[in-house]
Structure 1
Amino acid sequence: MMRLLELKKFVAGLVLALPVIGAQAETVLQLNNWLPPGHFIFTEVLKPWGDDVAAATQGRVRINITTSSLGPPARQFDMARQGIADITWSTQGYTPGRFLSSEGVELPFLSDSAEALSVAYWRTHKAHFEKLNEYAGVKLLSLHVQPPGELFTIKKPVHSLDDLKDLKIRIVGPVTANLMEQAGGVAVAAPVSQIYELVSSGVVDGTFLTTDSIPHMRMTDQLHHRTTVNGGFYNTSFFLVMNQKSWDKLLPEDQKAIEQLSGEAFAKRVGKIWDEKRAYGEKQFEEHNGQHIQIQGAALENLKAKMDKVRAQWVASITERGVDGDAALKMVQEEVKNYSSQ
């Protein structure tokens, strides 16, 4: 009788303990960060997004951002696919040719707003690019772009394509490489981390870059001429992805909560912040007496004619894979045109 009473007490205590155990259970997802810890993508985008995920899932899912990178930027996608990290963020441009759809939104003259183009990119991906299954092996959380790419030079101002002849310019991807080839200039391929050294030592005459990077990289006293075109010389695409097995282990309600914070919402979020950084960069450039040149008129028409070849090549390539390239680009342009931040 005594043993039976003790058993009942044990079972009752176990039942009472179960809700407490369930309430304390959480899934910790590791997000790999390869940027400096003070970079705004870390402090103003990834960390707040992680905090929002924790709040939306009532603490059941927590994002832990690494303090040092588990691998180089070019390996981020495969790191998520292989489960080295649960979540990664990087640019498709580090693995050229792997994500053909991303090259469509990296074409010139598309938008002066990272927010508008990022949202347009996500919507166009869902409508046209998703069927390519380029992100197989991971859960694609979001896509976005940074502000339009511009040209900065040290000594010689650039008013037209002809002014690039014989100049050594650090390039960003195939679009700017093609532009330098057609202009008769010298294309110098180098990662962002080497720009300051290349510019300060005079190895290059200038670089393609985004304005937000100028004060961040402390080059306001190095680069004196800023050349722009409406919509940018180029754009840069980024992804946010998650290991598929890690995703599949989450509760359906937590998956839904994360999706609501990702996709278009994340694209809008990061695009808006990056546009604000661009505005600050412009202000800093002006305050350091930098010269701003906007290519217009006949020089702009000549540039557009030269870059039509790049556009046509991408359209042909993506069409061969079963996507109407012209329709996809038209959607991007229409979405940007009609975009409202409200």
Structure 2
Amino acid sequence: MKSLYSAFLCVALTAAASCAQAQTVKLKVAHFLPSTSNAQANIIEPWCAQLEKESAGRIQCQIYPSMQLGGTPAKLADMARNGVADIVWTAPAYSAGKFPRVEALELPFVLPYGGKAGNAIIWDYYEQYAKDDFKGYKVLVVHGDGGMSLHTRGKRVNTLADLNGLKLRASSRTAAKTIESLGATPVSMPPAQMTEAISKGVVDGALAAWEVVPATKLDEVTQFHSVTPEGQPAFGYTVLTMLMNQRRFDALPADLQAIIERNSGKALSERFAEAWDKATEAAESAAPEAALARIEPAAYAEMQKASASAIEQWIGEANGKNLDGKALIDGVRNLAAGNR
């Protein structure tokens, strides 16, 4: 009788294990851009397809673009933490003050232009300096927007003096500090609002990455695009991340966890970099030569010097949060120097 019971128990346990192994997991993935965006069409969708293929259909994604799960972009990180979404793609800077170490990456004239160049530094910085910003999350990737440029309506910006009196869209607190240090007035707003704001004259332009120009139709409302000297760091960066609910990840079978792991981190960073560089190159090459406001080296150096006040201000604020602000910015600079 005892052996018969053991046999039944063995069969039951085996069946339960097989059931768990065959379970289909549907992940809710939310972000703030349209479904036609570069991020969804060229990274998130192919990434999800890769997970589904490697799991033989056991991992599936349901993507919710344009904040379809409700809330605002500033709430996306909380939505992942609270389980409203399983995975979100967002900018940490949208949740002001919650990810202070990452802000060092967004300071002016620190990181190089380009998805590949910038992302290598950003991922290394995350692993060495910024993991404490993301406690409670399963971090799938931290990457950048390839570097921001100035896009203006009605006024060509070639020098520091050209920025005086301009109102410019800022994507974050750090971008706002950069704009202010250069003598312009920052106006914070998400990407979805900046084109209309420029067309109506609410702002005179935007500090934004080339990658978003076609998607937001920024090229239709701006006449000039400032170009920094070849090989020099960007005006600033927006850091972006894919965050997963940690409990959701921990509850997955080990083999599905392994599939997500090997398609995340550096592998996902490189996937974003490739798509960002293609989109950036296409947007830049579509701009007519007459629209490019080329900044000479001397004028660029003057802008760098003026922006130092934004960096000093950030260091002071970081120190006030019991962080070593100087060590963090030095960490970014050292990584950037090592990747040249």
Same fold (TM over 0.5): yes
Residue 40 of structure 1: aligned partner? 38
Residue 107 of structure 1: aligned partner? 107
Quote the offset at 1:16 in angstroms.
10
Bigger mean CA deviation after superposition, 139-148 or 168-177 = 168-177
Separation in 2, partners of 1:308, 1:184: 13
Paired amino acid for 2:59: V
Identical amino acids, percent of aligned pairs: 27
Quote the offset at 1:98 in angstroms.
1.4
CA spacing shift, 1:23–1:93, aligned 2, 3 Å: closer
Residue 6 of structure 1: aligned partner? none
CA spacing shift, 1:13–1:35, aligned 2, 3 Å: same
**Alignment RMSD (CA, Å):** 3.0
Q: TM-score, length-normalised on structure 2?
A: 0.85
Q: 1:301-342: CA deviations, max 9, x gaps?
A: 2211121222233345546667655554455445445559xx
- What are the ranges of 5 or more consecutive residues in structure 1 without an aligned counterpart? 1-9
Q: Helix, strand or coil for the counterpart of 2:243?
A: strand
2:182·2:306 contact (CA, 8 Å) conserved in 1?
no
Residue 211 of structure 1: aligned partner? 210
CA spacing shift, 1:26–1:237, aligned 2, 3 Å: same
CA spacing shift, 1:300–1:319, aligned 2, 3 Å: same
1:86·1:243 contact (CA, 8 Å) conserved in 2?
yes
Quote the offset at 1:37 in angstroms.
1.4
**Would you say how many aligned residue pairs link Structure 1 and Structure 2?**
330
Q: Which runs of 4+ in 1 moved over 6 A?
A: 10-20
Residue 145 of structure 1: aligned partner? 144
Paired amino acid for 1:62: Q
1:166·1:186 contact (CA, 8 Å) conserved in 2?
yes
1:129·1:323 contact (CA, 8 Å) conserved in 2?
no
Paired amino acid for 2:30: N
Separation in 2, partners of 1:338, 1:50: 33
Quote the offset at 1:246 in angstroms.
0.6
Computing the radius of gyration from Cα coordinates, the structure with the larger value is 1
Q: Where do residues 258-297 of structure 1 align in structure 2 (5 Å cutoff)? A: 258-286=260-288, 289-297=289-297
Separation in 2, partners of 1:37, 1:149: 22
1:117·1:332 contact (CA, 8 Å) conserved in 2?
no
Separation in 2, partners of 1:94, 1:47: 23
Q: Where do residues 1-342 of structure 1 align in structure 2 (5 Å cutoff)? A: 21=19, 24-66=22-64, 69-71=68-70, 72-109=72-109, 110-130=111-131, 133-229=132-228, 230-286=232-288, 289-318=289-318, 325-336=325-336, 339=339
Separation in 2, partners of 1:188, 1:16: 60
Quote the offset at 1:76 in angstroms.
0.8
Separation in 2, partners of 1:27, 1:180: 44
Q: TM-score, length-normalised on structure 1?
A: 0.85
Separation in 1, partners of 2:18, 2:235: 57
Q: Helix, strand or coil for the counterpart of 2:134?
A: coil
Separation in 2, partners of 1:221, 1:199: 10
